[in-house]
């Protein structure tokens, strides 16, 4: 199963809304923007895409639209996870039929399965489809950590589980994943501020929030590292850090969508229970955008 195409700067793309509905016109423009700026992969319907408040019909439509617009030029990794195994299988089968290159599977949230339950959940999904699957570990949102031993067992037992988006924040845990898993198992950063350190321990790229507004810079940082231009990669990393920090002053994707509204990329409209930023944090966001040179 081809793995080397899932690397570099992959955007966790927002889902633009207009008057409560998915704004397909704006979404197409965003995809064109990423193709032009050199983004190397797109994740629709992830955390940043507000997947939790999309209906099944909207979820499927956003994935279909992404595949239609990308036209095979870069990989589409469809977010099709759920805390219901049956729902995750349904969404993943649809993504596979629509032509997605891979599926991103978040660990089940709220019901907090054991490691045995996590293994059984991901194995059931992997056996139901034949497209590559990338696990997504983000205990801060799901309430459960996928332990490195569980990841390694899944990597060994399920040939189409090819990698993990790691957002645990623990470089030690990620190092253990690299040590325990097959050599070609993909470690992908799920945390913009840790992308460069993750590359240094064998990571292959990032599924990025900040790439929604500065795709070229995120790609350049990863490319510099790959070319051995470490000083330049470090310079971009430190330039990006204050902007990345601003992307998380409130729950993602509130700041990034607000920034995109300020930059004219799409409407900042969110779906409840996400709501507009506080005035105080909005000022902090504007300051970070100005200091980066994105806003006058």
Which residues, 6 or more positions from 98, have their beta carbon under 8 angstroms from its beta carbon?
Answer: 60, 63, 64, 67, 78
109 labelled catalytic: no
> Which residues sit opposite 42 in a β-bridge?
11, 76
Indicate the pLDDT class of residue 284, thresholds 50, 70 and 90. Answer: very high
Of 27, 119, 136, 292, the catalytic one is 136
pTM of the model: 0.96
CA–CA gap between residue 154 and residue 122 (Å, rounded): 8
CATH number, domain containing residue 170 = 3.20.20.70
Q: What is the pLDDT of residues 113-126, one digit of tens each?
A: 999 999 999 999 99
CA–CA gap between residue 263 and residue 26 (Å, rounded): 13
pLDDT confidence of residue 1 = 60
Flag whether 77 is in a domain: yes
**4: pLDDT strictly greater than 90:** no
Structural domains of the chain, count: 1
Q: What is the pLDDT of residues 179-193, one digit of tens each?
A: 999 999 999 999 999
27 labelled catalytic: no
Flag whether 160 is in a domain: yes
Flag whether 248 is in a domain: no
- Which pair of structure tokens corresponds to residue 179? 């040590």
Is residue 207 within 8 Å of 13, Cβ to Cβ?
no
pLDDT confidence of residue 282 = 98
pLDDT confidence of residue 296 = 85
pLDDT confidence of residue 6 = 97
Of all residues in the chain, what percent carry a pLDDT higher than 90? 98
Flag whether 208 is in a domain: yes
Picking from 69, 65, 2, 8, the residue whose alpha carbon sits closest to that of residue 211 is 8
Is residue 64 within 8 Å of 57, Cβ to Cβ?
no
Flag whether 54 is in a domain: yes
Of 7, 153, 165, 257, the catalytic one is 165
pLDDT confidence of residue 230 = 97
Provide the residue range defining the domain that includes 137: 8-227
Is residue 138 within 8 Å of 191, Cβ to Cβ?
no
pLDDT confidence of residue 3 = 83
Flag whether 196 is in a domain: yes
Q: What is the pLDDT of residues 76-97, one digit of tens each?
A: 999 999 999 999 999 999 999 9
- Count Cβ atoms below 10 Å from residue 97 Cβ, excluding itself: 12
Q: What is the pLDDT of residues 51-84, one digit of tens each?
A: 999 999 999 999 999 999 999 999 999 999 999 9
Question: Per-residue DSSP letters for 146-172?
Answer: --HHHHHHHHHH-TTEEEEEE-S--HH
Flag whether 73 is in a domain: yes
Omega before 226 within 30 of 0, i.e. cis: no
pLDDT confidence of residue 2 = 74
Flag whether 107 is in a domain: yes
Is residue 205 within 8 Å of 39, Cβ to Cβ?
no
């Amino acid at each position: 199963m081809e793995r080397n195409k899932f690397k570099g700067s992959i955007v966790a793309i927002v889902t633009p809304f207009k008057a409560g509905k998915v704004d397909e016109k704006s979404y197409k423009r965003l995809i064109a923007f990423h193709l032009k700026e050199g983004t190397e992969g797109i994740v629709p319907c992830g955390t940043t895409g507000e997947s939790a408040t999309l209906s099944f019909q909207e979820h499927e439509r956003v994935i279909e639209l992404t595949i239609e617009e990308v036209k095979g030029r870069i990989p589409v990794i469809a977010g099709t996870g759920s805390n219901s195994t049956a729902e995750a299988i349904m969404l993943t089968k649809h993504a596979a039929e629509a032509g997605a290159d891979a599926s991103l599977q978040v660990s089940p949230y709220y019901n907090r399965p054991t490691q045995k339950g996590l293994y059984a959940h991901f194995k059931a999904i992997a056996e139901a489809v034949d497209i590559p699957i990338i696990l997504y570990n983000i205990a801060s949102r799901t309430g459960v950590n996928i332990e490195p031993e569980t990841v390694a067992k899944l990597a060994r037992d399920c040939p189409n589980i090819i990698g993990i988006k790691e957002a645990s924040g623990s470089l030690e845990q990620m190092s253990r994943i690299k040590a325990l898993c097959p050599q070609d198992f993909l470690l992908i950063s799920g945390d913009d501020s840790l992308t460069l350190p993750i590359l240094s321990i064998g990571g292959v790229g990032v599924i990025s929030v900040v790439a929604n507004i500065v795709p070229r810079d995120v790609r350049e940082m990863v490319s510099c590292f790959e070319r051995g231009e470490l000083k330049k990669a470090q310079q971009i990393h430190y330039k990006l850090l204050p902007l990345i920090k601003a992307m998380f002053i409130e729950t993602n994707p509130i700041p990034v969508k607000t920034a995109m509204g300020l930059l004219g990329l799409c409407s900042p409209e969110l779906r409840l229970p996400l709501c507009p930023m506080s005035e105080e944090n909005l000022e902090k966001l504007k300051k970070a955008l100005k200091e980066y040179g994105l806003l006058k």
